[in-house]
Amino acid sequence: MALTLDSRFLLLLAAVAAPSYLAALYGPIVRIGPDEIHINDPDYYNEIYAPNTRRRDKSPLWFWMGGSNNFGDNSAFTTLNHDLHRLRRSAVNPHFSKQKVQELEPRVRNHVLHLKKRLLDLAGTDESVDLSQATSALTLDVISDYAFGKAVGALDRPDMAKPWNDMLHAGVKIHPFARTFPTIARNMLRIPAWMMPTNNMKQEVDKFMSILTGMTQSAKDEAPAEKAKSKSGDLSSGHTNVLQAIFNSTLPEEEKTFSRVAGEAMIFVGAGTETTGRTLAVTLYNILANREVHDRLLEEIRTVIPESGSPLPPATQLEQLPYLTAVVQEGLRISHGVAGRLARIAPDEDLNYHGHQIGRGTTVSQSNYLVHTHPKYFPDPFKFQPEHFMGPEGEQARRHLVAFGRGNRACVGLNLAYSELFLTIATLIGTLKMELVHTTARDATIVTEYFIGCLPADSKGIRVRVLGEL
């Protein structure tokens, strides 16, 4: 029998710190709420997040958004049922495959070079820039370009779209409350926009939402023409647009309504922006703060980018560099893109954890944060050490890197995220001279969990001054 701790309020505390604290007191398996068991054991991860052949539903205890008309309601991400999720993912998967990401890499590279130019414009001035802001502007442009066929232009804006990123960031803050009081949260989100008080933030939110809605509408309007073109073998547009592909897919008609596809669009933007942007910023901080890591990485990058004017090699070539690869993996580990518990239900099989029988239908969770800081595989877990992932000894660490989740619900955007991480780190470290200003390790440390991991709210960011080209 798992231990019983029967208090609703524990759910609020139970996000990340509590399971780890309770596990220290009671062992790795703890009942953390009336209906949820948490298992803090990296070796049991693949059992909870099993491959496709074994059904896994998402738990409404944690994925509370269904019926809220918001937060990507009806997207694959918020779908609870295993089979419906498979159907929805089938329309999206081919557009995020490794091959597709390679095909569209020129578009990612253009945005990375745009970011480099924006940073270089600051060279020689006293101005510093918050890397979290700059990299989130990059990832917002990349995912909008990829999903809608057109970037929202975050890097073009003088403020690098700070209000839009603040909005995405503010949006996730509802999670701890909503997980505890889902009905109240869902009803709050149904309040019509015109009843909300007007302020600057709301104006920016309205503007952003109207851009996303407009792009989703264009994808719907243009989908039939695109379909006709591809049937006739005309590949002239050469312009993948994931939303159009969903409208043109073989999904049943009720799965292709405007509001359902708009839900997918919202999740692409929400899931693709902050996670990748923050991973980039935290990784860059750790490179710049650690001279040895920086110099070793630069030396390796020089083998493929001999000088800052040299062309940027394709991501596939960068992925062959062992130290850069280890830096990217360690960056993914330490930046906790998704930090919160990921709750699953095995609807038609009992699970067994070292003799503890877990009945089918029970919500079971584990959190990536705890896997990535587990001393068994990551001794000194808060120190940035790419060596964790190097060589044959790095095998255990690689096996327990779960930044993108596992199983049928794993991140659909991981190939795109890897491409962004390799291209951006190689470009910025290989071609720019930057120094950290007024930034300490605390500014780059995840201290709160709102489903995604968040940096300290009172921090001024991961600030760098750009000194010029290398």
The residues of the shown chain that bind ligand HEM, judged by CB under 6 A, are: 76-77, 89, 143, 267-268, 271-272, 275-276, 279, 332, 337-338, 342, 403-405, 409, 411-413, 416-417
Q: Give min distance, CB of 279 to ligand HEM, in A.
A: 4
Q: Give min distance, CB of 260 to ligand HEM, in A.
A: 14
CA angle 236, 240, 244 (to 5 degrees): 110
Tokens of 375: 């001393």
Q: Which one, 146 or 377, has the nearer CB to ligand HEM?
A: 146
Q: Which one, 64 or 77, has the nearer CB to ligand HEM?
A: 77
The β-bridge partners of 432 are: 469
Distance CA 295, CA 287 (A): 9
Residue with tokens 């890499």: 105
By Cβ distance, which residue is nearest to ligand HEM? 413
Q: Which one, 163 or 405, has the nearer CB to ligand HEM?
A: 405
Residue 81 backbone class (left: φ over 0; alpha: ψ -120 to 50; beta: rest): beta
Q: Give min distance, CB of 338 to ligand HEM, in A.
A: 4
Q: Give min distance, CB of 291 to ligand HEM, in A.
A: 25
Residue with tokens 């609807």: 347
The CB-based long-range contact list for 288-294 (8 Å cut-off, 24+ gap) reads 288/434, 288/435, 288/436, 288/464, 289/436, 289/439, 289/441, 289/444, 290/384, 293/327, 293/384, 293/386, 294/429
Q: Give min distance, CB of 448 to ligand HEM, in A.
A: 16
CA angle 422, 449, 73 (to 5 degrees): 85
Q: Which one, 265 or 432, has the nearer CB to ligand HEM?
A: 265
Q: Which one, 312 or 403, has the nearer CB to ligand HEM?
A: 403
Q: Give min distance, CB of 294 to ligand HEM, in A.
A: 21
CA angle 264, 265, 269 (to 5 degrees): 115
Closest CA to 352 of 339, 362, 366: 362
Q: Which one, 208 or 268, has the nearer CB to ligand HEM?
A: 268
Closest CA to 286 of 274, 302, 297: 297
Q: Which one, 10 or 269, has the nearer CB to ligand HEM?
A: 269
Residue 359 backbone class (left: φ over 0; alpha: ψ -120 to 50; beta: rest): beta
Q: Which one, 174 or 466, has the nearer CB to ligand HEM?
A: 174
Q: What is the DSSP letter of 306?
A: -
Q: Give min distance, CB of 303 to ligand HEM, in A.
A: 25
Q: Give min distance, CB of 74 to ligand HEM, in A.
A: 12
Closest CA to 332 of 361, 372, 378: 372
